[in-house]
Every structure is written in structure tokens, then in C-alpha cells.
């Protein structure tokens, strides 16, 4: 098999000799020259160079925006609820009806019962506080009765009944004030009784 002129297989042991014998060819010269880009026209706008002032402006936390000296962020305000509106079929302000069931002693108990009997189902807020206040008074009455019966046997139960009555008196006053101001009042311990009373005691038509 005839060998090619430029057989340069590196695995061939005769590779160095073949490389020396190979004739080197030079590329033909040409008369072409490297072209150059034309100079920029006179009307072409030059690249803007940033000064230190411009750089600081764009590097500011406001991304170059002009911020007023007395800038204040807008605040979202929740829509205010009219707690003094008149409740249907009763004619009393809503905040009064929500506070009455928490008044201490039997006033709150009777008020809660009457509100459930006369306020329509559509007045969910007034009926909820009426049921919750009534449930709280029922719970206080049950505990006070038990402690009163135990007070006939031991003096500790009598003292406990007095402390319990004082604590519940203060708590009911706080609940009444909060409800009158339109703030939420939630007594978790009487949730089940509250739901049952609101469902069972239906308004009189």
C-alpha cells in the first residue's frame, strides 16, 4: 500500500522522520488589507459620562426617584363600624345591647334573656353577646350555689365563694365596658352553652 505524503500517524515509529521529510507549504500572499471602521460622524451623540453626583443619585435607596422631604407612607385604615346604630325592633343602640348582658348580678342575666327573645336573628352581634352574657351568668350562678352549699360545711368554701364573687364581678364589669366600646369579648369556657342558648332561644314574632 502506497504511503501518503502527509501521513503523520503518531503511533507510527517513523513519525519524526516523516515529519522532517514533509514539505511545508506557505499560503499564497494576497494584496488585501484589513478594513477599518469609519470614524464616528460629527452628529453622533457621545456616550454620557456620569459624574459623582449622578452616580450617587442612581445609587440611592430610592433608585433615583425624587422623594419629598416630608414623605409619609399611606396607612390602611379598617372601616369603622357604627356601634351606636339603632337595632331593629328594639330601638336601642347596638353598643348598649351588647353591654347589657354583662352587667353584674341579675340585671345582665335578665337583659340577655330579653335580647334573645326580642332581637331578630339578623342582629347576630347583639344576639351573640346576649347568649354569651347569659351563659356567663348561668355558669357563675351554678358555681356560687355549689360554693355556698359547701360553705355551710367548711370555712374555706365560704372564703372561696367570696373571692369567686369578687373576681367575677370585676370581670363582668370589664366585659361590659369592652362590649360598650365595640371591642371583641370572648369567654371560651362558655362557648358550648353560648351556642346552645343562641340556637334554642328564638325571637318572638
pLDDT at 52: 65
141-188: per-residue pLDDT in tens?
999 999 888 887 787 888 888 999 999 999 999 999 999 999 999 999
> Which residues does residue 93 pair with via DSSP β-bridges, in sequence order?
86
Mean model confidence pLDDT for the chain? 78
pLDDT at 50: 59
pLDDT at 45: 52
How does residue 111 score in pLDDT terms, banded at 50, 70 and 90? Answer: very high
Average pLDDT over residues 86-107: 90
Query: 22: which residues sit within 8 A by CB, 6+ positions away?
Result: 5, 6, 8
> Which of 2-6, 94-98, 192-196 comes out lowest in average pLDDT?
2-6
- Top-confidence residue, 119 or 9: 119
Closest by CA to 189, choosing from 130, 122, 127, 140, is 140
DSSP string, 154-187: -HHHHHHHHHHHHHHHHHHHHHHHHHHTT-----
Average pLDDT over residues 30-51: 62
pLDDT at 79: 44
Amino acid at each position: 500500500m502506497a504511503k501518503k505524503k502527509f501521513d503523520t500517524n503518531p503511533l507510527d515509529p517513523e513519525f519524526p522522520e516523516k515529519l522532517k521529510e514533509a514539505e511545508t507549504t506557505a499560503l499564497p500572499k494576497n494584496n488585501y488589507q484589513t478594513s477599518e471602521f469609519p470614524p464616528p460622524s460629527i452628529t453622533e451623540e457621545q456616550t454620557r459620562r456620569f459624574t459623582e453626583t449622578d452616580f450617587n443619585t442612581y445609587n440611592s435607596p430610592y433608585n433615583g426617584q425624587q422623594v419629598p422631604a416630608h414623605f409619609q407612607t399611606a396607612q390602611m385604615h379598617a372601616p369603622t363600624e357604627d356601634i351606636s346604630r339603632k337595632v331593629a325592633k328594639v330601638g336601642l343602640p347596638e353598643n348598649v345591647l351588647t353591654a347589657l348582658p354583662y352587667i353584674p348580678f341579675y340585671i345582665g342575666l335578665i337583659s340577655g334573656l330579653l335580647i334573645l327573645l326580642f332581637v331578630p336573628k339578623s342582629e347576630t352581634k347583639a344576639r351573640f353577646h346576649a347568649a354569651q352574657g347569659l351563659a356567663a351568668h348561668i355558669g357563675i350562678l351554678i358555681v356560687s350555689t355549689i360554693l355556698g352549699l359547701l360553705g355551710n360545711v367548711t370555712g374555706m368554701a365560704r372564703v372561696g365563694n367570696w373571692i369567686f364573687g369578687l373576681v367575677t364581678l370585676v370581670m363582668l364589669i370589664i366585659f361590659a365596658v369592652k362590649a360598650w366600646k365595640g371591642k371583641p369579648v370572648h369567654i371560651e369556657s362558655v362557648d358550648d352553652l353560648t351556642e346552645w342558648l343562641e340556637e334554642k332561644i328564638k325571637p318572638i314574632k
